[in-house]
Amino acid sequence: MLGHHVFTLWGKCQVEHNAIHCSTLLLLKTSFKERKNKLKISIITISFNQADYLKKCIDSVLSQNIKDLEYIVVDPGSTDGSREIIEAYGDKLIKVFEKDAGAADGLNKGFSRATGEIFGFINSDDELLPGALEKVADAFLKNSQAGAISGCGYFVDASGAFLKSITPSQFTPWRYVHGAVSVFQQGTFFRSDWFRKVGGFNTDNRTCWDGELFLGMALAGAHFKTIGEELAIFRLHEASITGSGRLNELYAMDADRLFRSALKRPRSERDRYIDILAKLRKWLFEPSWLIRRIARLR
């Protein structure tokens, strides 16, 4: 009889333990979901005469499955029908129709109106992938110390055909100025307080305002976290700044200025060799770009 009561008591304890364990897991899961639902994400798109791609861009943002999304589209004066496309969305997005002094200035105008905890920006000819912002929210909630999250994606041509994969590498100031970081702006999101801490975009930078923003955040102490999730596509075409090869001379000047800002010295001849070694190290110790490319060929 004693043995019977012992086993009965043990069984009862096990049931109660399992019930408590399940209740705790349910509470944690519910708490995580509630926190994610309350996490507001603000996305900015700068639009200028990209009507051919604009609707796809806007739809890719508005179709994201998150509870609290704020979407702001800035257009300084398109003449190709872009404004009419934007107007057709009514109150689904916030419209900023103001002249600006360039893309960086336009983005600053957009972010000055943003109220989210997480910021991101997507060009009017690029797109977010389905479920991207939910993955971003999950990543920030699981990495509370991260100031920025960078995910993967891929390049497409003007027609949307796949060109190659993009896998971000760990962002540090030293690696950035030595050209050993793959910056995927479309797949990078950051906490609004870090954006405000560094003062937003440098409006004098016409070539790599995104890189300068991320460099400023890193120098100020923001931690960049990479995740292996595909978040966005980057479209290359004749009219795109990156795709056309314009402004190369200005870019070289900006790159030298950022080098001096990060390392407190001018670039030397020796740094050309350091650049090569830094990129080689990236390829040897971060082979994910090669693995993803091979996977795409299967």
Does residue 243 carry a pLDDT above 50? Answer: no
- Domain extents for the chain? 1-28, 38-297
What would the pLDDT profile of 129-185 be if each residue is shown by its tens digit? Answer: 999 999 999 999 999 999 999 999 999 999 999 999 999 888 999 999 999 988 899
Q: What is the pLDDT of residue 3?
A: 53
Q: What angle (nearest 5°) sits at the alpha carbon of residue 249, between those of residues 274 and 182?
A: 45
The pLDDT value recorded for residue 277 is 86
Average pLDDT across the chain, whole number: 87
Q: Which pLDDT value is given to residue 298?
A: 44
- Band (pLDDT 50/70/90 cuts) for residue 279 is confident
**Which CATH superfamily does the domain covering 38-297 fall into?**
Spore Coat Polysaccharide Biosynthesis Protein SpsA; Chain A (3.90.550.10)
Mean pLDDT of 98-114: 97
- Position 296 scores a pLDDT of 46
pLDDT at residue number 151: 97
Residue 119 has pLDDT above 50, yes or no: yes
Return the bridge partners of 295, or none. none
- Residue 128, pLDDT > 50, answer yes
What pLDDT digit, counting tens, does each position of 5-19 carry?
Answer: 544 554 555 655 565
> Lowest-pLDDT range, 27-36, 58-67, 239-248?
239-248
